[in-house]
Structure formats: structure tokens, C-alpha cells
Amino acid sequence: MTQIATPPVAPEAPRRSWYRRAWDVVDDRLGISALRYPVPEHANNVAWSLGGITAAMFVVLIATGIILVQFYNPTPEGANASVRDIEQHIWLGSFIRGIHFWAAQAMYVTAALHLLRVFFTGSYKKPREGNWLLGVAMFGLVILGLFTGTVLKWDQEGYEALGHNIEVGRLLSGAGVWFSPDFAKNIPIIVRLYGAHVVIIPVLIFALLVWHGLLVKRHRISPHPSLPTDESGTQASSREPTEPFTYHLRRVSVFALVLLGVLGILTVLLPPVVGPEPVAGIEVTLPPWPFWWMFTLEDWIGLSGILYGGAALFILLILVPFVDRNARRHWRTRPVAMTLAAVVFVAIIVLSILAVVLPATKHLM
Amino acid sequence: MTGMYIWRIPLRRPVTTLAALLVGVWLTALAAAPALAHGEGESDQASVLVLQAIGFITNKPGDMEDVSDKVDDALNAPHKEGVDIAQVQAAKDALDNNNMDQARTLLQQSLQSGAPMQGAKGEETGTTVVHNSLNTRGRLAGGDWVLLALSVLVVALGAWLAVRFRPPQSVRVLRRQLAAQPRGPTPAS
């Protein structure tokens, strides 16, 4: 009897779920899995996720801002009324405006905390000095966004903020010309600030954010100061476990989700107020809280105090990586830097408290 | 030895140039800036002064002195176009009787014969009528309770996911694990 040889059967490939196959189709075309590059595990704690949370707040601001511009009237005669209309007559308008307001506060806070984290962990040191400068520039843009947003509601608080800004622009003479109403005499300045708020500032933040992210990818996540580094001292040790960057994104998204819920609670319990229509020639309001410390300086030395204070803070921030150039990253080994930072921080807190406690003087009249 | 210094001074030339430029800009601003407050003085338009009085009433309701000053200034202003002065006088009488609500109504009515700032340009306010602040705090309607509940749910969901997706090791555990391994690379600090 002859045996019939059976052809060899190829081992059957494991069946993949429809979800996996669909994902592969998308990934082949969009290259999403390129984001799965490894990052050191310490990058997934809250402190090292603050930059991502700030970016998430930016997304929330863009999303809510897109809705708000549909109903906002950026003219002096109509701005305040249109904000009231959003609050009272647009379905979910009050909630969306509240989320926008609180997300702006949150973005300022998380950006400041991110800046502090980077400072305290020495993450701005070589080779990441350029990325620190990008971060400082973005922080400045966040403050500008807060300022222009305050003006746009066109109530007494916003108008007085604008008045201070115009005067500071005049102090700067040529350098502050854009902030002067004389720059385009026939156009209400609120229209130009509206353009800055909805186009110029977000586009600049987005562009710098992309650059910031690409530099983080290029330089890689900075090492944790209490963990070993590689031999260069600028990267995490290869012995430290890693996780895909997508896990970091997932972690950031989850933190942002918690924060979004908190913003929702704040919006319901503490909705932002729309003040009375602005009247020129009186000065009766406090600026938004991030500017309180400058307000005290203004009380002491006049309008130029805003200029001195703001310029001093940003010049210090810009100089940080060029002056503090040693390789030490742990805060305990950097007493001079820590002392200076503490002095600046305490000064800002004390000046802010004084703005609320002490009687304000009039500056614009 | 890197351990012998904290601040590296003197700086390299590009850094010095950058710092000098920044300080130069700052000093220029300092030199250009007057130390005292800047302003354009009191208005001589009754319409503007009446609006300022209303602004004080709506923003600082208890500030009777500032309101009275502005009303007096409006009554004595050289340019009274667009203002019904009789109504302003009536508002002054109401203020003297501590009736702020009536004073405000009269002041607002005094402006209705001529809106002072139509077609605002530059930094003009465009304000002709001043309303009270729109403050809805402390008054939760049915929809607010739904949004509040949803927000709390979002916080709870996020917190649950944050715990579920937390990294396998904390920094403290990592520090202990890496210290236990044979030493190779140098510590960061």
C-alpha cells in the first residue's frame, strides 16, 4: 500500500478581532502608533502631567470659544448685551460661558504650576533652555488671553483693565502702539482685542505648543531629580522602566476629565458675573486675581508699576536658564535658585493679598 | 568640578548681549514712565458725568459721596447737551432723601433725550444705559442641578480612571528599585 502524502498545512494565523483589524487599517494610514514611543515612568505622575493638562484646558477653551463667538457681538454698543444674551437666552449658554471662564482660570493655574514644576526639578537646564523660553512665551500668551477675555465682556471691570492697558501702552510709547486706540482710530479697540483673543493669541499658543511638544520629543522627558540619570546627566537612566507615550496621553486625559468635572461644578455654583456696562472716567473695580499683585505696585508707584512688575517677572523668567547653568537638579542642592524663587513667589502672594486688603487709589483719572 | 559653583558667572557673550538688551528695554521704559498716575481730568460734559454717577451707583451702591459729587458736577457742567437737567436736579433731591433707586432711575431718564455715545470708536464705551450686574450665583434651577450632578459624575469617572490607569510604580518605589540595582549611571543631583 502506498501512503498518500498530505500537503503540509500552514499554521493558522491567530484570528484578530474586528476592532484590532479596524485599528490597523486606520493606523496604517494615519501612523497613530508612532506616538507609542517610550517615555520614562516618572512622567506619568500628576506633577509631570501639568503641561498636558494645560494643553487640555486650551482645547476646552477653543471648543467653548467656538460656540461663544456664534453669539458674541464685538462692538462697544453690543458686547455687554450679547454676553447677557448668552447668559439668559441661549440654551446652555450660561454653562458654556462658565466653563470657558473657569477653564481660562484653570489654564493660568496649571501653566503656572507647570512652570514651577519645571523650575523646581531643574528641567529647563541644558539642553532644554529653548523649550523653557517657549514655555515662558506661552505663559505670557495665556496672561494676554486672560486679559483680552476680561475686556471682551465689556463691563466696568473689563473696561478699567483696558484703560490700564492703554495707559501702559502709552508709557511704552512706540513699543506699545498696538495697544493704543490711536493705532486704528476709526475702529473700536474692542474689535481689535476680539481679533487678538480669537485668532492671534490662540494661533500663537498653538504654534508654540506644537514646537514645545516637538522639543519635548527631541530632548525626551527630563530626568526626575531624585532618580538616577544616564551618563550625560540630561536623560533618565536606561534602567528606569518606560511606558508608551500614549499611556501618558491617556493619563493626562483622565486628569483633564477630573478637572473638567470640577470646572462644571464651579460653573454651576460660582457662575461668572457680567458687570454693568462700562462708564469712562471712573475707577471702581479690582482687576482679575492674576493681576492683583501688579495692582498693588500700581497703588504704590503709579501706572508704571504694572510695567515694572510685569517686565521684572518676565525678564527673571527669561534669564533663569542662562544664569542657573550648573547640572544640579534637586531643589536641595540649589539654595540660591530656591531662595530667589521663594522671594518672588512670596512677594507675588503678599502683593496680591494687599490689593484686596488695602484701599485702592485711583490711577486713571 | 560642577559641585564647586551654583551660578556660573561671568556669562558668555550672547547671553550677556541678550541680558543687556532686555535690561536696556526695561530701563528705557523706566525712564519714559512718569511715576504718578496718568489721566485726562474731569469731564465738562454733563452727559458723561451723569453716566459716571450711574456707574458709581451700579458698581458701588453704598458710595453716596462719589455719586453726589458726580451729580453736582453734572449740574454745574458747562456743556449740558443731551441731558434733561431738571431730571438731574430731581435725582439730586432723591439722593438727599437717601433714595438711591429713584435717583438712578431719574439719572437714566435724564439721558434719554440724547444718547451721548453712538457709533463708538477707539476706546469709547458706547454705553447709553447702565444695567445692574448679572449675577446668578446662589439660585439653582432644575437644569443647574442636572449639570451639577453630571459634573460630579465626570469627576468620579475621572478619579476612577486615574486610579485604574495609574503608573505601576510611584517615584518612591522607582527610587527604591533603582537604588537596589547595581549602580551604573550617576544620580541626577
Omega into B10 within 30° of 0, i.e. cis?
A: yes
- Cβ contact B78:B54 at 8 Å: no
**Mean pLDDT of all residues in A124-147:** 96
**Mean pLDDT of all residues in A169-173:** 84
Mean pLDDT of chain A: 92
Q: How do residues B84-140 score in pLDDT, each as one tens digit?
A: 999 999 999 999 998 999 999 999 999 875 555 557 888 889 898 899 999 877 778
d(CA B78, CA B86) in angstroms, rounded, equals 15
pLDDT at B37: 37
Whether residue B70 is contained in a domain is answered as yes
The alpha carbon of residue A137 is apart from the nearest alpha carbon of chain B, in Å, by 15
Whether residue B29 is contained in a domain is answered as no
Residues of B within 8 A of A240 (CB-CB) are 174, 178
| C-alpha cell belonging to residue A143 | 496672561
Whether residue B54 is contained in a domain is answered as yes
The alpha carbon of residue B156 is apart from the nearest alpha carbon of chain A, in Å, by 7
Which DSSP state fits A199? Answer: I
- In the three-class reduction of DSSP (H, G, I as helix; E, B as strand; rest coil), residue A281 is classed as coil
Interface touch A187/B59, C-beta < 8 Å: no
Domain count, chain B: 1
pLDDT at A103: 98
Domain span holding position B103? 46-110
Residue A91 clears pLDDT 50, i.e. is over it: yes
pTM of the model: 0.86
Interface touch B154/A94, C-beta < 8 Å: no
Residues of B within 8 A of A251 (CB-CB) are 162, 165-167
In the structure, what pLDDT confidence band is assigned to residue A215 with cuts at 50, 70 and 90? very high
pLDDT at B6: 42
pLDDT at B139: 77
Nearest chain B alpha carbon to A85: B134
Whether residue B38 is contained in a domain is answered as no
- In A210-306, DSSP assigns E strands to 242-244
Q: How do residues B19-65 score in pLDDT, each as one tens digit?
A: 566 656 555 544 444 433 334 567 888 989 999 999 999 998 878 88
- Across the strands, what pairs with A274? B134
b/e map of A245-268 (b: 16 or more CB within 10 Å)?
bebbeebbbbbbbbbbbbbbbbbb
pLDDT at A176: 79
Probe site for chain A from B11, B12, B174 (most A CB atoms < 10 A): B174
Closest CA to A129 of A245, A234, A275, A6: A234
Nearest chain B alpha carbon to A247: B165
d(CA A257, CA A49) in angstroms, rounded, equals 13
Closest CA to B6 of A108, A335, A232: A335
A 161-190 residues inside an 8 A Cβ radius of B: 162-163, 166-167, 170-173, 175, 181-182, 185-189
Residue A187 clears pLDDT 50, i.e. is over it: yes
d(CA A287, CA A192) in angstroms, rounded, equals 21
Interface touch A224/B171, C-beta < 8 Å: yes
Closest CA to A363 of A265, A281, A288, A289: A281
Partner residue facing A311 (CB), from B26, B127, B150? B26
| C-alpha cell belonging to residue A301 | 508707584
User: Which parts of A236-284 fold into alpha helices (H)?
Assistant: 245-269
d(CA A224, CA B175) in angstroms, rounded, equals 10
Closest CA to A187 of B156, B119, B128, B150: B119
pLDDT at B36: 37
pLDDT at B138: 73
Partner residue facing B30 (CB), from A268, A308, A324? A308
Residue A365 clears pLDDT 60, i.e. is over it: no
Partner residue facing B151 (CB), from A156, A265, A365? A265
pLDDT at B43: 84
Partner residue facing A273 (CB), from B39, B43, B134? B134
Which DSSP state fits A224? Answer: P
Ordered domains of chain A (ranges, CATH): 42-226+239-281 (1.20.810.10)
d(CA B109, CA B127) in angstroms, rounded, equals 14
Q: How do residues A30-81 score in pLDDT, each as one tens digit?
A: 998 999 999 999 999 999 999 999 999 999 999 999 999 999 999 999 999 9
The alpha carbon of residue B132 is apart from the nearest alpha carbon of chain A, in Å, by 5
Whether residue B154 is contained in a domain is answered as no
- Cβ contact B155:A265 at 8 Å: yes
Residues of A within 8 A of B168 (CB-CB) are 41, 241
ipTM of the complex: 0.87
pLDDT at A179: 83
> Residues with Cβ < 8 Å from A10, sequence gap 6 or more?
none
The count of other CB atoms within 10 Å of the CB of residue A226 is 19
Whether residue B71 is contained in a domain is answered as yes
A87, amino acid identity: E
pLDDT at B3: 40
Whether residue B76 is contained in a domain is answered as yes
A 219-258 residues inside an 8 A Cβ radius of B: 223-231, 233, 237-241, 243, 247, 250-251, 254-258
Residues of B within 8 A of A254 (CB-CB) are 158, 161-162, 165
User: Which parts of A15-155 fold into alpha helices (H)?
Assistant: 18-30, 50-68, 79-89, 93-120, 129-152
Residue B189 clears pLDDT 50, i.e. is over it: no
Which DSSP state fits A225? Answer: T
Write out chain B in H/E/C secondary structure: CHHHCCCCCCCCHHHHHHHHHHHHHHHHHHHHCCCCCCCCCCCCEHHHHHHHHHHHHHHCCCCHHHHHHHHHHHHHCCECCCCCHHHHHHHHHHHHCCCHHHHHHHHHHHCCCCCCCCCCCCCCCCCCCCCCCECCCCCCCHHHHHHHHHHHHHHHHHHHHHHHCCCCCCHHHHHHHHHHCCCCCCECC
| C-alpha cell belonging to residue A57 | 484646558
Residues of B within 8 A of A87 (CB-CB) are 134, 136
Residues of A within 8 A of B39 (CB-CB) are 362-365
Interface touch A228/B137, C-beta < 8 Å: no
pLDDT at A153: 96
Residue with cell 556669562: B11
In the structure, what pLDDT confidence band is assigned to residue A128 with cuts at 50, 70 and 90? very high
Q: How do residues A1-14 score in pLDDT, each as one tens digit?
A: 455 666 666 666 67
| A94 phi/psi in degrees, rounded to 5 | -65, -40
End-to-end CA distance of chain B: 14
pLDDT at B1: 37
Partner residue facing A254 (CB), from B127, B165, B187? B165
d(CA A197, CA A204) in angstroms, rounded, equals 11
The alpha carbon of residue A8 is apart from the nearest alpha carbon of chain B, in Å, by 45
**Mean pLDDT of all residues in B169-188:** 76
Whether residue B128 is contained in a domain is answered as no
d(CA A348, CA A362) in angstroms, rounded, equals 21
Sign of CA dihedral A209, A215, A218, A220: negative
